[in-house]
Structure 1
Amino acid sequence: MGWSWPKLKERLECPKDENATYENTTWSNRDLIPIPPERQTYGVWSYVGYWTVSGSCISAWSTGSTLLAFGLSPQQAIAVVVVGGILSGLLAVVCGWVGARHHIGFTVSSRFSWGMRGSYFPVILRVFVASMWFGMQAYWGGQATRVLIGAIIPGFAHLHNSFSASSHLQTNDFIGLVIWMCLFIPGVLIRPEKLQIPFLICFLFFCGSCLGLLIWSVSLAHGAGSLFHQPATAPNVGWAFMFGITAILGSWGSGTLGQSDWTRYANRPYAPTLSQLIASPLTIAGTATIGIIVTSASGDILGGDMQWNPIYLLAEIQEHYHSSPGVRACVFFASLGMVSSQFSISVVLNSVSCGMDMAGLWPKYINIRRGAYIMTIIGIAIQPWQLLATAEKFLTVLSGFGVFMAPATGIMLADYHLVRRYKLKMDDLYTGDSSSIYWFRSGVNWRAFVTFVAAMWPLLPGLVATVNSSTGRQWTGWIRLYNLTFLVGLAMSFFMFWALNRLFPVKGLGEESSMMESQITYGIDGSARASDIESQNEKRKEAVASSL
């Protein structure tokens, strides 16, 4: 039948564009090469769409619960999310500049800081965190779908459970998850450069849900509710305020670290900047503020405990009004916004970035799409419903991954902005031998690993003490340091890495080759014919001219 192992391997390789002049190698494929002009489709409004779905989400809505639990008043919590949103936007600007300028994502840019082989470490770290969070986001998406179906079929909310109690999974939750996954999986097929319209649709749905809940709660409660008028209870408001800021940065830390995954699609260098500086703080602060007000007001209307998760709040509203037809219609449209929000946030912060990270691990056979499907399998295989129901400490540890993300962010920023001063030799980022200036020693830059460990370890005792709530007062200092994880970890790694590079300079500083000069896009192993290069250059020039 003509079957052979070489032919099978060839079939399993990542697909290439028609008339592609690049090759799938150990270091490159379509999703890892510098984005050519014809795929640079994101303008100013495209990035506004990106940040609206990143900042307007259920996580932002629920941020108030964290801040109020730490002893801040609602007004102070709102001030925190405003300041935290502004700082997140500034951090996104400096993290995303490498993508907007050189059109490469975090997976490739980490090579010039960690080394060609050393870059696997931060990439695997991000894959692990993204897969875990996706599983939980998918479960919440399934629960939002369950509420949506329950608005159509009231009895679905009380469907008989066929699973055992030890599974911590209801039958209706499982059905909702399956349906949500059926919607999400085809969404992965949409290429990142074509996601602008889905972003807009998801934002409009979620925005409608937020405004609808806000109008309902404030009108019936005749104001923001009793919770909104409670004073701060934190013994030290200053420490609580700083913790709130670093919590905001930590929540969007992975997104800012991987900003170049999206800014590389920019059609001009400053296209992402306006949305990062304006849309980011507006959407994060606006959504969190609405979440605080609605939770406060709805608590007075419905009675009982405060419900910070809008998905569960919608289910309680339907129960409170005994599934009347008008309320069911409102819950249906509101839950539709929650379903779409979980879809968009899973694509933005999980599937695309994680898919590209996985592509960096095995570029010849994994691209963004295949990597996203692998992430999906891992995320569901961990059974997030078990983790959410029985492993509160695990969630604390997972939330504490800012301990690792912050030093990685500081290393990247120091290397790109101070050490290399925006100059990269693009072809060497795809060369896996000692001829590359990013090979360092055996493919590893020891400076990055030394910095990472030095900036990380002071934060670990606080993480351990936070997980183990029985620790005594002698851990207070470590816990306070941990509560400032992102600010402290980023600052320490930034200055340590810069100092190490001043003491032990790396070779190749100041060397630069632009995307036009580089052979990356045309044939990683130098196999492109001169005619191919000339033809591709003409196409690129025409694309640039048409975009101006």
Structure 2
Amino acid sequence: MEKIIPVTSPKTLRTVLSPVELDIILSQQEIEAPKKPKTKFQRFLRAIEVPHGDEPISVLRNPDLQPIPDKERTWGFWSFFAYWGLPNFSVATFSTGSALLSLNLNIQQSIGALVIANILIGLMTIANSNPGIKYHIGYTLDQRMIFGIYGSFIGIIFRVGLAAVFYGYLSWLGGLCFNMVFSSFSLNFLNMKNTFPESVPMTRRDLISFLCFQLIQMPFAFVKPRRVNIPSIVTCFMTLFAIVGILAYLVSTNGGPGPLYYNRVTLNASERSWMWIFAITIWYSGVSPAVANQSDYSRFAHSKTSCYWGLFLGTVLPGTFVSLSGMLCASACKELYGVAYWTPDEMVAQWLRDDYSSKARAAAFFIGISFVDSQLFLNMTQNGYSCGMDLAGILPKYINIKRGTIFVQLISWVVQPWTFFNTSSSFLDAMSAFGVFTTPIIAINIVDFYAIRKSKIPLIDFFTLSKSGLFWYDYGINWRSTLAFFTGLGLGLPGLVYSANDSLKENIGMMNFYYGYMFFIPIVSGGLYYALNLVAPLRHEKLRQEDPLDYFNCFNEKELENMGMDPNSDDVDILDAEIQDRSSFEVPGKKTA
């Protein structure tokens, strides 16, 4: 790497920076330099900028996008266990059997598929965690790394769209959980007559509970994401006790697991194999957005080991137990009540209608409040805050996590989540579709970080519009990752269309690809991206390099020592006055002024 003469001054650390490094820093300082507003519109824009104190702000940067400093990395084993336990201690996981058994698998085979899926999800998430763990950056900067400064909008916009859909979807489930709480208070609410026409796929009591759940989520937009780990841990254990109580009561009352447990599989060997693969894909799809944006939370980890073990066990253990419990409970309900109830609110409503006693009401309240809490923190951590982080990457000067979270809270009703639960097939389509959009991003991110960059990236390049920056690529877009992403997505979409529209004649190959896209899309998108980098490799002097200075004061002493990086402090001037003028150095391949 070409060097310039070391710069020193009475207060500067003797440092060696390349011309490219200096060009990047100067470009960053240029876009972050405050400009005095001259017009009313400019003054208005200044007034609505996100609060940033003494921190720099620009079209690429605000305090919520910066690498997380050491003092704020407080998440340990139980925090990550809870973060990944929340999707499992939830209504969606409890009712997953309704989707899996509709594939004509039995309970035993469905659980086998889920065990495999959870192990694969845990390993995939670990592989996608390290940009956050090592460099303490979130999903938004991940997208700049793989798609480029401007190309990052591809991954961000897809994730924002999925977050809005998921937020509404989980809010509706949270409203159903509120039904249990309100029904334990009032027999009139339990038996409330529905005044909506039959064409509306919801009841009046469901709508009331949905609106109430939406309202109680609103204040949590003002809570910092890293501070919800403790209530999430408490919530996981509350919901675990509630699920154990439901399972114990139904199985003991029924005297066994019920008829669904003994169902036989009538599929031939080929059909059974594809349904196993599809079952794995369905379960993976529901959590794939969280796998994709894992760096948003792994950046809070105080150690790599605690993050790895917490997320792996939080995925595998509750994911298997809760799903099995839901299937056994539905099977017992089938024999006890003649109907296989798949959600806790349906089971609790049956108990209250049979015996509206103080004992039944107390059980309904505890079960209801436990699931309400799990849905709330699940929705906030995996959709509310995540969408806020994503939107902050689109308009950093005007949107931070808080504002972005409020935005998704306000628009989530537009997706009409009640339609997801009108029929089991609708639920199946919704569950199996999400991963088509996120899986190419996950695959490319893993290949890029480990194979292309060898786990080394410079952080300063994320916040500059300089064409000398590593993540500028070609006009701010990495065409290699963009082509790989849309190739994988394009191959998955036909199967999604066939699945959603029964009137179309299926292409067997495309449907099989869709059934197993969890396995096939990584091969297509990840493999194509790697091949394109072999054919047309990125040539940049900062590739597989790290910053010479801790520009963001985010690393501790051990990390600085491991990376061979110098600390940054108030006593260190990155640039001396002598070299503030770009004409004092020359960037290779660029004309000087």
Q: Deviations over 1:441-468 (max 9, x none)?
A: 1111111111112222222222222112
Query: Are 1:261 and 2:293 counterparts?
Result: no
Alpha-carbon offset, residue 114 of structure 1: 0.4
Q: Distance in 1 between matches of 2:352 and 2:507?
A: 45
2:311 corresponds to 1:311: no
Counterpart in 2 of 1:419? 452
Give the aligned partner of residue 276 of structure 1.
311
CA deviations on 1:444-502 (whole Å, 9 max, x unpaired) are: 11111111122222222222221122344x62332122100121111211111011011
Deviation at 1:402, TM superposition (A): 1.8
Note the C-alpha offset of 1:162: 5.4
Q: Deviations over 1:331-372 (max 9, x none)?
A: 111111111121021012101111100110101111111101
Aligned to 1:286: 321
**Structure 2: 5+ residue stretches without partners:** 1-38, 556-567, 575-593
SS at match of 2:66: coil
* Matched-pair contact (CA < 8 Å) for 1:156–1:172: yes
- Structure 1 404/220 Cα, relative in aligned 2: closer, same or farther at 3 Å? same
Aligned with 1:42 (options 58, 75, 80): 75
Q: Note the C-alpha offset of 1:43.
A: 1.5
More displaced stretch, 503-512 vs 362-371: 503-512
**TM-superposed deviation, 1:406:** 1.3
Paired with 2:217 and 2:162, the residues of 1 have a C-alpha distance of 19
2:134 to 81, 94, 101: 101
Q: Does the aligned pair in 1 maintain the 2:93–2:323 contact within 8 Å?
A: yes
Which residue does the alignment assign to 2:528?
A: 496
Q: 1:221 to 1:150 in 2, by over 3 A?
A: same
Amino acid at match of 2:312: L
Q: Which deviates further from its counterpart, 490-499 or 393-402?
A: 393-402
Q: Which residue of 2 aligns with 1:371?
A: 404
- Counterpart of 1:532 (choices 559, 570, 582) is 570
Once the 2 structures are TM-superposed, how far is the Cα of residue 533 of structure 1 from its aligned partner? 6.3
Where does 1:12-23 land on structure 2 (aligned, <5 Å)? Answer: 12-16=48-52, 20=54, 22-23=55-56
* Corresponding residue of 1:545: none
Q: Is the 8 A contact 2:496 2:514 kept in 1?
A: yes
Match of 1:152 in 2: 185
Paired position in structure 2 for 1:428: 461
AA of the residue aligned to 2:174? G
CA contact 1:430–1:520 (8 Å) conserved in 2: no
Distance 1:245 1:213, change over 3 A: same
Match 1:213 to one of 241, 246, 259: 246
Counterpart contact for 1:107–1:123, Cα < 8 Å: yes
User: Which of these residues, 485, 505, 509, is aligned with residue 537 of structure 2?
Assistant: 505
State how far apart, in whole Å, the 2-side matches of 1:27 and 1:242 are.
Answer: 41
Once the two structures are overlaid, the 10-residue window that deviates more, 86-95 or 175-184, is 175-184
Distance in 1 between residues matched to 2:52 and 2:572, nearest whole Å: 20
Amino acid at match of 1:369: K
What's the counterpart of residue 157 of structure 2? 124
CA contact (8 A) 1:129 1:398 kept: no
Which residue does the alignment assign to 1:477? 509
The answer to whether the 8 A contact 2:281-2:432 is kept is: no
1:68·1:77 contact (CA, 8 Å) conserved in 2? yes
| Pair 429,515 (structure 1): closer, same or farther in 2 beyond 3 Å | farther
Residue 27 of structure 1: how far off its partner (Å): 0.9
TM-superposed CA distance for 1:201, in Å, is: 2.1
Amino acid at match of 1:136: Y
The 1:159/1:535 distance shift into structure 2, 3 A limit, reads farther
CA 1:434–1:63 in structure 2 vs 1: closer, same or farther (change >3 Å)? same
Tell me the CA shift for residue 374 of structure 1. Answer: 0.4
Judge conservation of contact 2:553–2:569 (CA < 8 Å) in 1: no
Structure 2 CA distance, aligned partners of 1:76 and 1:107?
38
SS of alignment partner, residue 252 of structure 1:
helix
**What does the per-residue CA deviation read over 1:85-119, in whole Å, with 9 as the maximum and x for residues that have no partner?**
11111011001111001100111111111010000
Secondary structure at 1:34's aligned position in 2?
Answer: coil
How far apart, CA to CA, are the structure 1 residues paired with 2:466 and 2:297? Answer: 28
The Cα offsets for residues 306-351 of structure 1, whole Å up to 9 and x where unpaired, read as: 12122222222322x1423321221111111111121021012101
Cross-structure match for 2:4 = none
Kept after mapping to 2: 8 A contact 1:97/1:260: yes
Partner of 1:542: none
8 Å Cα contact 1:214-1:293 kept in structure 2: yes
How far did residue 511 of structure 1 move?
A: 4.0
Structure 1 pair 465–515 and aligned structure 2 pair: CA distance change class (3 A): farther
C-alpha contact (below 8 Å) 1:34/1:515 kept by paired residues: no
2:97 corresponds to 1:64: yes
Determine the C-alpha separation between the residues in 2 that align with 1:46 and 1:429: 28
SS in 1 for 2:256: coil
Query: Which region of structure 1 is more displaced relative to structure 2, 66-75 or 86-95?
Result: 66-75
Q: 1:137 aligns with which of 135, 148, 170?
A: 170
Q: Give the whole-Å Cα distance in 1 for the aligned partners of 2:262 and 2:570.
A: 68
Distance 1:211 1:519 in 2: 47
SS at match of 1:197: helix
Question: Shift in Å at residue 135 of structure 1?
Answer: 0.9
Question: Could you say what the CA RMSD is over the residues aligned between the two structures, in angstroms?
Answer: 2.5
C-alpha displacement of 1:234: 2.6
Question: Number of matched residues?
Answer: 522
Range that drifts further, 146-155 or 177-186: 177-186
More displaced 10-residue stretch of structure 1: 7-16 or 445-454:
7-16
Amino acid paired to 2:164: S
Conserved in 2, the CA contact under 8 Å of 1:234 and 1:240? no
Provide closer, same or farther for how the CA distance between residues 195 and 445 of structure 1 changes in structure 2, counting only shifts above 3 A. Answer: same
What code does the residue aligned with 1:350 have? N
C-alpha contact 1:206 1:338 (8 A) present in aligned 2: yes
* Residue 544 of structure 1: aligned partner: none
Moved more, 44-53 or 31-40: 44-53
Partners in 2 of 1:56 and 1:162 — Cα distance?
Answer: 33
- Of 328, 333, 349, which residue of structure 1 is paired with 2:382? 349
Distance 1:114 1:240, change over 3 A: same
Range that drifts further, 228-237 or 4-13: 4-13
Which residue is equivalent to 1:75? 108
TM-score between both structures, scaled by the size of structure 2: 0.83
Indicate if the aligned counterparts of 1:61 and 1:291 stay in contact, CA closer than 8 A. Answer: yes
2:6 matched to which residue of 1? none
Match of 1:29 in 2: 62
Cα separation, partners in 2 of 1:515 and 1:232, compared to 1, 3 Å: farther
Q: What residue in structure 2 maps to residue 543 of structure 1? A: none
Secondary structure, counterpart of 1:66 in structure 2: helix
Q: Percent identity?
A: 28
Alignment partner, residue 188 of structure 1: 221
Deviations 1:13-70 (A, max 9, x none): 11125xx4x3121111111100011111112222122122132222211222222111
Paired with 2:424 and 2:256, the residues of 1 have a C-alpha distance of 37
Give the stretch that moved more between structures: 173-182 or 84-93.
173-182
Amino acid at match of 1:475: N
Pair 1:252-2:284 in alignment = no
Distance 1:438 1:395 in 2: 39
Describe the SS at the equivalent of 2:291: helix
Answer yes or no: is 1:238 the counterpart of 2:273.
yes
Which shows bigger deviation, 120-129 or 151-160? 151-160
Q: Which runs of 5+ in 1 are unaligned?
A: 523-529, 537-548
Deviation at 1:163, TM superposition (A): 5.1
In structure 2, distance between residues paired with 1:54 and 1:387: 18
2:497 alignment partner in structure 1: 464
Larger Rg computed on CA atoms: 2
| Alignment partners' CA distance in 2, 1:512 and 1:403 | 33
C-alpha separation in 2, matches of 1:363 and 1:515: 26
